[in-house]
Amino acid sequence: MKVVIVGGVAGGATAAARIRRLDEQAEIVVFERSGYISYANCGLPYYIGGVITDRAELTLQTPDSFYARFRVVMKVRHEVLSIHPERKTVLVKNLETGEQFEERYDKLLLSPGAKPTQPRLPGVGLDRVFTLRTVEDTLALRDYIDRHQPKSAVLAGGGFISLEVAENLRGLGLDVTIVQRPKQLMNPFDRDMASFIHSEMRRNGVRLALGHTVEGFEETETGVSVLLKDAEPLNADLVVLAIGVTPDTHLAKDAGLALGVRGSILVNDRMETSAPDIYAVGDAVQVKHFVSGQDTLLSLAGPANKQGRIAADNICGGDSRYKGSQGSSILQVFELTAASTGLNETRAKAAGLSTDKVILSPMSHAGYYPGGRLMTMKVVFEKDTYRLLGAQIIGYEGVDKRIDVLATAIRAGMSALELQDLDLAYAPPYSSAKDPVNMAGYIIDNIASGVVKQWHLEDVDTLPRDGSATLLDTRTEEEYAQGHVEGFVNIPVDELRERMSELEPGKPVYVMCQSGLRSYIASRILAANGYDCYNFAGGYCLYEAVVKDRCLAERATACGKNSD
């Protein structure tokens, strides 16, 4: 059996190694357009910033090492120009010599990945406008920085690559501005949770121009002018386009293979395309979202590697199935860690799901053990069924393990109520006896049983302020004095029983504290005394982060500025 693989990075390299482990006699040839195979896309920004100092560390394998270990022929700087399913060949061009030749296959695997989205804007091809997808892209940007010592950069786009590049450029001392058409960074997160990311970026000197559309680029005597719609241009020494990625599927399209959303390659759960003996994996293929069941694109290394293994199994006569992607991801944002899995609230509602949520701010480990820090967790679930839909966590230490627990719970089909039953490891340096994941389950169980009723951030502006309800802040006087929501009166929770006469019976009470815990205790005290109570999900720390973020954005717009 002869297997030809187009693309030698995540999915393609994984498939090649798996095929060899399953079939020692198979002839395996991989064509890779770039000069590198099996490289770590996610590590590229860290080479630019000098965190990774040796460029050799970016490549997990070389053609020689891959051949020595697996007897797989890796032909770099070879581009597949066309596919001919009817005669089972591909047309290949050697990019170094210009030679073209046909290569026969019994099985063909397409792993072309995705290319940086480059809108048809004036100036996209300028020398100082960079993209970042391959090792060559990374070396070109790093070389430019080393040679020209730029002082400023504009990043177009607000996703993973943009934020990682921003952090690394700030580490080199550059002034950095991120321009993003949506009014938030990082679309896997809801706007309320993204506020914490915005705050951390600003705290580290990154300017945010949110809600602005890039219309082109012009070369100037000193750098590049970034043209914005309905706003003054931004000037910088260099620009990085990080608007997103587009499936690189021209080969599949030209060969007549069926396509899916945004021109992606349509595959079944065996990673088979519409053409016999042709498989496809990675960023170029359409997948089912594990939670919503909808067709989608998810450009992440984990799914690409899994799909490569599954395709390899099936090429070798097995019957492996891909059960869908849920988009689990994590990102370092300076000192913060931001992680998500499944559907956020915005996407769940867009998918037509009836949602509810809990937002809590637990400590990363036992409060009495030194060094614990707050994290903010948002767990989204389906009303009535309590099916887990997704989670977002932003904090410091311990974020990664909590998001992985929640990702596993979603994959296992657990309900949100079952989170309270998870038997999770505890020692004071690592967690609390009631782990944050358990705490989310306890809160959801309280909602399900009617022990607590919630109100949310989006309800702030519609709260009854005409005297028909009581708005109660149960933090300390000092906390209240440092900032509070307009219209809320302050009675610290520990004084509530003695001061209950200050609350008018018969009126509903909307309760708030710093994180949601003290207000929950206050709600139980009041409910036991006949009051109709609603606890604020997320606490004042969430309210403050979101309101401050909105004010900064509105102030920048009102002042006619492009960034804050």
Q: Which 3 state secondary structure label does DSSP give 165?
A: helix
DSSP letter at 242 equals -
Residue 227 CB contacts under 8 Å (≥ 6 apart), including other chains: 122, 123, 214, 215, 216, 217, 218, 233
Q: Is 42 a catalytic residue?
A: yes
Cβ–Cβ contacts within 10 Å for residue 183, how many? Answer: 16
Check: CB of residue 421 under 8 Å from CB of residue 441. yes
Sheet holding 376-382, edge to edge: 329-333, 336-342, 388-395, 376-382, 355-360
* Angle, CA 178 vertex, CA 174 and CA 184 arms, to 5°: 145
Cβ–Cβ contacts within 10 Å for residue 136, how many? Answer: 11
* Angle, CA 58 vertex, CA 55 and CA 63 arms, to 5°: 100
Give CA–CA dist 434/428, Å, rounded. Answer: 11
Give CA–CA dist 29/25, Å, rounded. Answer: 13
Amino acid letter at 289?
H
Sign of the torsion angle spanned by Cα atoms 197, 198, 202, 206 = positive
Q: What are phi and psi of 192, to 5 degrees?
A: -65, -40
Q: Residue 19: how many CA atoms within 13 Å on its side-chain side?
A: 30
Check: CB of residue 248 under 8 Å from CB of residue 284. yes
Tokens describing residue 364: 């990363």
Give CA–CA dist 514/410, Å, rounded. Answer: 29
Give CA–CA dist 75/67, Å, rounded. Answer: 11
Check: CB of residue 279 under 8 Å from CB of residue 83. no
- The bridge status of strand 238-241 relative to strand 129-131 is parallel
Q: Which 3 state secondary structure label does DSSP give 309?
A: helix
Cβ–Cβ contacts within 10 Å for residue 278, how many? Answer: 23
What residues are labeled active site? 42
